[in-house]
Amino acid sequence: MYIQFLFISWNVDPEIFRIGGFALRYYSLMFLAAFYFSYKILSKIYTKENVPLILLNKLFLYVFVGTVAGARLGHCLFYEFDYYRHHLLEIILPFRITAKGQFELTGYQGLASHGGAIGILIAVWLYCKKYKFSFLWVLDRLVIVVAIAGMFIRIGNFFNSEIIGKQTNLPWAVVFERVDLIPRHPAQLYEAFCYLLIFFTVWIIYNKRWRQLKKGFLFGLFLVILFSVRFMIEFVKENQERFENRLLINMGQILSIPFILTGLYFIFKKPTVKPMPGLE
């Protein structure tokens, strides 16, 4: 039996305001905050290592496009392929025409973090190829801010009452009233807190040992910790799509395994070149 007064009721409107077909959502603000704080932190790193900030500006353009494109394609292909294969334009267009023939600005509400990770890797590879940068040098710095960006994104998911947790009677359970009246694990906040801890961990290691670390170590460490955390938290999450109910582990866990293995490879890989400089 549940004691209702112990639980947290959550019924916040995800839209801050709406004007016609345009709506400003908390998720959008969190997404922008993720990029703002990531830029501020990376600008300190680039300045410390005497790398021109113009190169950081170009990197952020690549990463922004890679993140959005990868996360969107990842969601459509990994989670809702049966729908989007019949609605291909909705994959790339942030609006739709309703059954009544009305225009509705939807934004990109379906975004998958694993797809975003793949998109970032491709974007960074293209950036490094064009500007003659060391691929691993960039990734070692970029993962520092990816963790804190992930924190903001999960807070945005909490405002959206999405990616909810499984039923629980723990006193900090949250009732997402826009979904149902069942007390659930606030899985989004679990992830947000873990990502914040990962950020501080990687940030401290970088600041203390950035001159001695081999290329790829921070990248590998980040992959192992973050996707291990993601794998474990999936056990208290509701599956996002029905087909996952037939799987031994869900899609988020399946997609986390290759990232963990890749991280272990870079942690234990013997260095072949000196850690510095970033420019090849």
Sequence spans of domains, the chain: 15-268
Instruction: Kindly tell me the sign of the dihedral angle through the C-alpha atoms of 90, 253, 141, 128.
Output: negative
Its pTM stands at: 0.79
Alpha helix ranges (H) inside 79-214: 81-84, 89-92, 113-131, 135-159, 187-209
Q: Give the pLDDT of the chain (280 residues) as one tens digit per residue.
A: 344 457 889 999 988 888 776 778 898 899 899 989 999 999 999 999 999 999 999 998 998 888 877 777 766 666 665 666 655 555 566 555 555 655 555 555 556 666 777 888 899 999 999 988 899 999 999 999 999 999 999 999 999 998 899 999 999 999 999 999 999 999 999 999 999 999 999 999 999 998 889 999 999 999 999 999 999 999 999 887 677 777 778 888 888 999 999 999 999 988 765 544 455 4
Total Cβ atoms within 10 A of residue 151: 24
- Counting DSSP H helices and E strands in the chain, the numbers are 9, 7
Q: Which regions of the chain does DSSP assign to beta strands (E)? A: 8-10, 15-19, 22-25, 95-97, 103-105, 174-176, 183-184
**Strand pairing category for 8-10 and 174-176:** parallel
Cα 168 to Cα 269: distance, rounded to the nearest angstrom: 42
Structure tokens at 143: 């993962």
